[in-house]
Chains A and B, each alone.
Chain A
Amino acid sequence: AQTVTQSQPEMSVQEAETVTLSCTYDTSESDYYLFWYKQPPSRQMILVIRQEAYKQQNATENRFSVNFQKAAKSFSLKISDSQLGDAAMYFCAYRVYSGAGSYQLTFGKGTKLSVIP
């Protein structure tokens, strides 16, 4: 079974500083996708960043970047210049092919990020 592990239930960061959220996953596949989703207090799930496993270059989206270590099955999220609006639950997710043309996302349990003014 595919699993996604987020070992940090809670993290905090000073405003304008940098924070890294960790994620590891277990898979026997060689080609797959990884995602980071943000869930603010409104509970809306918002895609932050996506990484394709066959791409060696780490994905970046403005202040958000990932450190993708395929051999180690590690997919950490770095948030630079943290802002108050970054405070949220962050979920790491892995795309699983479940057969018959169906893909599912398997999510970790999340990391609650607090931003200190």
Chain B
Amino acid sequence: NAGVMQNPRHLVRRRGQEARLRCSPMKGHSHVYWYRQLPEEGLKFMVYLQKENIIDESGMPKERFSAEFPKEGPSILRIQQVVRGDSAAYFCASSPKGSGANVLTFGAGSRLTVL
């Protein structure tokens, strides 16, 4: 059981470039969550997805950020035209259907650095 796999672990981008972060949920899990951790802060909810559906994106910035979880393949968090304030650790978590986020398994995170 490989757990929640995130890649890349570290990503460096220059201002204005695009960042793509990938997340493969744990085997048997159909729900994916993305959280962002700024330096010296706790994790903050961004978006909750099921296969081919965005269920809750209330924590996602309205511009430049998007997320998807296609029928096949990993979930993708995409940040367009990155700015220095996007530098953070981005965590993906997954849960089984019907668990109501009570059984979240987190990945190791992707650390984005914007130069």
Contact = CB atoms under 8 A, between A and B. Distances in A.
B43 A91 contact: yes
Interface residues of B, number: 24
Interface of A: 4, 33, 37, 42-47, 50, 91, 93, 95, 98-110
A95 B45 contact: no
A106 B33 CA distance: 13
Contacts of A107: 42-44
B41 interface: yes
- The binding surface of chain B is classed by DSSP as strand
A4 B45 CA distance: 14
Contact of B55 (A4, A43, A100): A100
12 contacts: A43-B109, A50-B102, A95-B100, A95-B102, A98-B56, A100-B56, A101-B55, A103-B102, A104-B33, A107-B43, A109-B41, A110-B41
Given A107-B43, A108-B42, A44 B108 contact: yes
